[in-house]
């Protein structure tokens, strides 16, 4: 990855750029580390806006990498302090974007692995599955808990998913702080870009 540029913030799926290049969307609970991981991937500190305060990212943000593919930062779900109406709007914006965008090559579903998973994580993962959308799980904040804790949380997540999935989704353990998992995710993107070009 040599060059990355912020393209714009879009309030709804139908206003996103008309473009044929593949894109990679980042979804997950508010505060899970979506914006941080985009910064880690791109080796930039403040490209995508990060905050301790949940609910930082509020629209669909496009970043163009090497003129050839997009990283898309999305607002997170499950932020308790927003109104019912705002949550419904979020749900509509994000799910419409994910369902209708034909150029999505892969969705990165982030789950905070420093704490036990939450029910809304399982629900969202199952929604992706029900829609037949391609995704992998990015387990974030691996540096934030001790290893046995991380392993326990991973087991818990696998167990919960096992109730619904015959074959578990691919998972990558990551940290925005130590850059763990960065190379693996870049490799996944690179392979997916090739597959997308041949499709
Ligand atoms: P929203 O935009 O609100 O949905 O949040 P987000 O998912 O984009 O999270 P963001 O990247 O803003 O990070 C939330 C908080 O978690 C910030 O305080 C980050 O510094 C912290 N954080 C993110 N990734 C990591 C990580 O790998 N390790 C640790 N220790 N903290 C992290
Ligand atoms: Mg964000």
Taking only the tens place, the pLDDT of each residue in 87-139 is 888 889 999 999 999 999 999 999 999 999 999 999 999 999 999 999 999 99
Q: What is the mean predicted confidence (pLDDT) over 149-168?
A: 97
> Which residue of 37, 44, 51 sits with most ligand 1 atoms within 8 Å of its CB, as the best mutation to test the pocket?
51
More confident position, 46 or 196: 196
**How many other C-beta atoms can be found within 10 angstroms of the C-beta atom of residue 101?**
17
Distance in Å, CA 198 to ligand 2 centroid: 32
- What does DSSP assign to residue 53? S
Any atom of ligand 1 within 6 Å of the Cβ of 34: yes
Ligand 1 atom closest to residue 73's alpha carbon, by position in its atom list? 8
Strands lying side by side in the sheet with 171-173: 4-10, 60-65, 69-73, 23-28, 104-112, 135-140, 171-173
CA-nearest residue, atom 18 of ligand 1? 52
Q: Quick one: which of 92, 79, 77, 70 has its CA closest to 24?
A: 70
Distance in Å, CA 32 to ligand 1 centroid: 5
CA-nearest residue, atom 15 of ligand 1? 52
Beta-carbon contacts of 175 under 8 Å, excluding residues fewer than 6 positions away, are: 140, 141, 142, 143, 144, 181
For residue 73, the enclosing domain spans: 4-198
Any atom of ligand 1 within 6 Å of the Cβ of 115: no
Instruction: Tell whether the model's pLDDT for residue 51 goes beyond 80.
Output: no
- What does DSSP assign to residue 128? H
> Which residue of 29, 36, 39, 80 sits with most ligand 1 atoms within 8 Å of its CB, as the best mutation to test the pocket?
36
pLDDT at 18: 94
Domain count, the chain: 1
78 falls in which pLDDT band (50, 70, 90)? Answer: confident
Any atom of ligand 1 within 6 Å of the Cβ of 40: no
Q: What is the CATH number of the domain that holds 52?
A: 3.40.50.300
pTM: 0.95
Dmax over Cα atoms in the chain, in whole Å? 46
Distance in Å, CA 31 to ligand 1 centroid: 5
């Amino acid at each position: 990855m040599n060059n990355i540029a912020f393209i714009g913030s879009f309030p709804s799926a139908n206003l996103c750029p008309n473009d044929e290049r593949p894109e990679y969307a980042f979804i997950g609970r508010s505060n899970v580390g979506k914006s941080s991981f985009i910064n880690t991937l791109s080796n930039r500190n403040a490209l995508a806006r990060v905050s301790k305060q949940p609910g930082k990212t509020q629209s669909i943000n496009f970043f163009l990498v090497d003129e050839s593919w997009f990283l898309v930062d999305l607002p997170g779900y499950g932020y308790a302090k927003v109104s019912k109406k705002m949550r419904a709007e979020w749900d509509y914006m994000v799910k419409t974007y994910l369902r209708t965008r034909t150029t999505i090559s892969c969705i990165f579903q982030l789950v905070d692995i420093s704490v036990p998973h939450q029910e809304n994580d399982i629900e969202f993962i199952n929604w992706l599955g029900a829609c037949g959308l391609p995704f992998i799980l990015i387990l974030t904040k691996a540096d934030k808990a001790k290893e046995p804790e991380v392993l326990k949380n991973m087991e818990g997540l696998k167990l919960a998913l096992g109730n619904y999935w015959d074959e578990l989704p691919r998972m990558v353990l990551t940290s925005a702080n130590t850059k763990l998992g960065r190379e693996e995710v870049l490799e996944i993107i690179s392979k997916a870009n090739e597959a997308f070009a041949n499709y």
